[in-house]
Structure 1
Amino acid sequence: MNPVHKKFSRRARVATGGAVLAVVALAGFGAVSANASAPAAPPTTATSANAAARATTTSTHLTIDAATKAAQAALDAAEKENQRVTVAVVDRNGNTVVTLRGDGAGPQSYESAERKAFTAVSWNAPTSQLAERLEQAPNLKDIPGTLFLAGGVPVTAGNAPIAGIGVAGAPSGTLDEKFAQAGANSVAR
């Protein structure tokens, strides 16, 4: 046994260790509290503020509420015409935010709606227009995740795409796109 341990009883060693742990814990808590309550330091110079502004960007995205509203508006428009469709809303990066599969929509409509929405936001154009472009550039259809069939429309803010809405399942792409546009129009209001 260590000679230092022989001088102190077990009870004294436990009490000392507990006291040390309490002091360390309180010191750590005090440091965290001090950091949490200290106001953020403003940029020291205009140069550092300008550098930060050049190194960052701000983008606009639909909220989940707006995306859900748009999807529901597209689904409602389809249901008014007795069409069984699936509606997908993707964000600016093509990530699915909301998908609503209407009663009786075909199993293929889920993926098709997402791919149409992705395609519309990627090119900031309705997929019916993009389908026409395939005549000049047939390799476009080989890009993963895309679907060049009518039924997808972009949602824009300041002419920049912020989301895409895709609809699939109606008997024609023209109808799909009509319903997708109803969803996009609900966001613009």
Structure 2
Amino acid sequence: MSLSTAFRSTRTRVLTGSAVVVALGAGVFGTVSASADTAPAAKPAAAQAAADASGRNVTQTSHLTIAAATKAAQAALDAAGKEKQKVSVAVVDRDGRALVTLRGDGAGPQSYEAAQEKAFTAVSWNAPTSELVKRLDSAPTLKDIPGTLFLAGGAPVTVKGAPVAGIGVAGAPSGDLDEKFAKAGVTALFR
């Protein structure tokens, strides 16, 4: 056998063997891909539809709209203005995130953050902050929770007994006044 014939024979065997390996690989890959694409996709979709239909795996909450939060904040600020008090007002959602914060003309720099913390505290415990101050006697470490402020001036907003927002006011000479203005914001939502 000549060298060129042996070379062609080896070359033919390598090319033929490579083609067979590629064909087998493609067939196996196609089979695995086809089975991976069809079977598992059908089961999760059916399970998801059943879970969604039952409603057992989901919960719904209510939240104030920005328009309602703005209305409440402005009502609280107006109530303070009628009594010539310079305050800040904050409205937070059910999760304690600020929706609207208004710093009234002449309000002290500490009032902005204090209003947010009072609103957060009111919605977190679903109670006016003046009531929560009384709880500190039996649980003094409550005041150590970050973002809370246990001073009068926060009022929760509830719908069907569940908290949906909190309104906090800070800057008046007393917490009683702050809370009076916060409650004016709550009242404005239900007029």
**Local SS of the residue matching 2:102:** strand
- CA drift of 1:58 comes to 1.0
Q: 1:91 and 2:100 equivalent?
A: no
Structure 2 unaligned regions, length at least 5: 1-45
Question: How large is the RMSD of aligned CA atoms in angstroms?
Answer: 1.8
What's the TM-score, normalizing by structure 1? Answer: 0.74
Q: Identify the match of residue 186 of structure 1 among 182, 185, 188.
A: 188
Task: Return closer, same or farther for 1:119/1:48 CA change in 2, 3 Å cut-off.
Answer: closer
Q: Aligned letter for 1:134?
A: L
> Shift of the alpha carbon at 1:80?
0.1
2:127 to 125, 128, 134: 125
Report matched runs for 1:96-175 at 5 Å. 96-175=98-177
Aligned residue number for residue 78 of structure 1: 80
* Greater per-residue helix proportion: 2
CA apart distance, 1:188: 1.6
Paired positions, count:
147
Which residue of structure 2 aligns with residue 177 of structure 1?
179
The verdict on how the C-alpha distance between 1:136 and 1:47 changes in structure 2, with shifts beyond 3 A counting, is: same
**CA-to-partner distance for each residue in 1:42-85, whole Å, 9 max, x for gaps?**
x899844444x111111100000000000000000000000000
User: Where does structure 1 lack aligned partners over 5 or more consecutive residues?
Assistant: 1-42
Letter in 1 for 2:132: L
SS in structure 2 of the partner of residue 54 of structure 1? coil
Percent identity of the aligned residues? 70
| 176 and 46 in structure 1: CA distance in 2 versus 1, 3 angstrom threshold | same
Q: Deviations over 1:73-102 (max 9, x none)?
A: 000000000000000000000000000000
From the CA coordinates, give the structure whose radius of gyration is larger: 2
Take 1:45 and 1:173, find their aligned partners in 2: how far apart are those partners?
50
Quick check: 2:153–2:175 contact (8 Å CA) kept in 1? Answer: yes
TM-score (norm 2): 0.74
Give the 3-state SS of the residue equivalent to 2:178 in structure 1.
helix
